[in-house]
């Protein structure tokens, strides 16, 4: 499920290793080792620490990001900064006399270049993030907290939804802004799990999560509720409008085919769904309970 991005960056890692080797060999060739008494150990500790942290940032960047322009800019920028930090650190152990004085004069130069590169990287990163935010809009509203993400479906968990329902209930109270909430329940999901295994079941949950996202408006928010249930928040929407939206979502889910490796697919059944509009003054717990109860009653009647 998770891709190891580090494997994508073999060239960059190789470049990093060479750059570090060149830096070390330059210092060793041109410098003379200082006597023990001349070394400021406190300085060594602090400067060495800075170099280590920069290296960690650099590796984390490679771990976290796919290939591309932004990654390259970040990489070269951070590498240049790392070289400066290393020169600064090694300069505690080596002295550069006479003709070799240029080494210590130039030590800040790579950092300066690196910072210019990083500034370009930041600009492009900002552009890239705008595009990604746009894609996430139905999954996430003005607040990012990866700890609340559900690992299986990739959507946020019920806890995230509850925070947003609280906000919307408040705005219903203060500004009379209607709000509707829907629950979508996968039919016979435990049978599906029994027949096809939980791995397929999990990927079905992820698929359906995506289908729900695709068929919502930009203002809506979808999260995984629990088990085989998804929850959708529709701010500024009355019951009728909300029902139309969810009806469409249910239709799209019913059309979904899940492909397996052998080009077979399991047509996957339907969903039960239920919308409610919040009353003014209703609590979050009462709203969720009402929604669940109504869905349960509906499920029982459909048999």
User: Which residues make up the interface to another protein (CB under 8 A)?
Assistant: 2, 150-152, 157-159, 185, 187-188, 190-191, 194, 198-199, 202, 225-229, 272, 285, 288-289, 292, 296, 299-300, 302-303
Q: Give the shortest CB-280-to-another protein separation in angstroms.
A: 23
Structure tokens given for 263: 């080009």
User: Phi, psi (5° rounding) for residue 135?
Assistant: -70, -25
- Closer of 127 and 299 to another protein (Cβ): 299
- Closer of 63 and 106 to another protein (Cβ): 63
Cα–Cα dist 77/67, whole Å: 15
Which pairs from 264-267 meet CB under 8 Å and 24+ separation?
Answer: 266/192, 266/196, 266/200
- Closer of 88 and 228 to another protein (Cβ): 228
Q: At which residue do the structure tokens 């500004």 appear?
A: 175
- Closer of 43 and 188 to another protein (Cβ): 188
- Closer of 238 and 270 to another protein (Cβ): 270
CA 66 from chain centre, in angstroms, equals 13
Look at residues 219, 218, 229 and name the one whose alpha carbon lies nearest to residue 253: 229
Q: Give the shortest CB-166-to-another protein separation in angstroms.
A: 13
Cα–Cα dist 281/165, whole Å: 13
Q: Give the shortest CB-126-to-another protein separation in angstroms.
A: 29
* Eight-state DSSP code of residue 184: E
Q: Give the shortest CB-200-to-another protein separation in angstroms.
A: 12
- Closer of 28 and 226 to another protein (Cβ): 226
- Closer of 117 and 165 to another protein (Cβ): 165
Q: Give the shortest CB-299-to-another protein separation in angstroms.
A: 5
Q: At which residue do the structure tokens 């048999």 appear?
A: 303
Q: Give the shortest CB-114-to-another protein separation in angstroms.
A: 33
Q: Give the shortest CB-156-to-another protein separation in angstroms.
A: 11
- Closer of 101 and 194 to another protein (Cβ): 194
Q: Determine how many CB atoms are found less than 10 A away from the CB of residue 19.
A: 17
Cα–Cα dist 54/65, whole Å: 17
CB 94 within 8 A of CB 34: yes
- CA distances, 101 to each of 30, 84, 91 (Å): 9, 15, 11
Q: Give the shortest CB-104-to-another protein separation in angstroms.
A: 47
* Eight-state DSSP code of residue 154: S
What kind and span of H or E run contains 86? helix 69-90
Reduce the DSSP state of residue 271 to 3 states and report it. strand
């Amino acid at each position: 499920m998770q891709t190891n991005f580090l494997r994508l960056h073999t060239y960059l890692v190789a470049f990093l290793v060479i750059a570090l080797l060149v830096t070390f060999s330059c210092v060793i060739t041109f410098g003379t080792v200082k006597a023990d008494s001349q070394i400021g150990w406190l300085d060594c500790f602090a400067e060495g620490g800075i170099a280590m942290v920069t290296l960690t940032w650099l590796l984390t960047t490679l771990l976290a990001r796919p290939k591309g322009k932004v990654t390259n800019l970040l990489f070269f920028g951070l590498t240049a900064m790392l070289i400066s930090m290393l020169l600064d650190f090694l300069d505690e152990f080596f002295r550069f006399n006479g003709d070799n004085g240029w080494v210590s004069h130039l030590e800040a130069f790579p950092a300066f270049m690196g910072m210019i590169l990083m500034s370009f990287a930041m600009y492009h990163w900002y552009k890239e993030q705008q595009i990604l935010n746009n894609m996430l809009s139905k999954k996430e509203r003005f607040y990012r907290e990866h700890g609340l993400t559900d690992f299986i479906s990739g959507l946020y968990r019920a806890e995230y939804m509850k925070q947003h329902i609280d906000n919307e209930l408040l705005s219903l109270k203060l500004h009379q802004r209607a709000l509707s909430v829907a629950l979508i329940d996968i039919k016979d999901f435990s049978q599906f799990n029994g027949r096809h295994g939980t791995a397929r079941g999990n990927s079905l949950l992820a698929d359906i999560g995506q289908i729900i996202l695709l068929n919502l408006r930009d203002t809506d928010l979808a999260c995984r509720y629990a088990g085989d249930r998804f929850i959708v928040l529709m701010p500024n929407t009355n019951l009728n409008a909300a029902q139309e939206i969810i009806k469409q979502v249910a239709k799209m889910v019913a059309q979904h085919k899940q492909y397996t490796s052998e080009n077979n697919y399991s047509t996957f059944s339907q969903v039960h769904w239920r919308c409610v509009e919040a009353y003014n003054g209703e609590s979050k717990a009462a709203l969720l309970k009402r929604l669940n109860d109504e869905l349960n009653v509906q499920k029982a009647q459909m048999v």
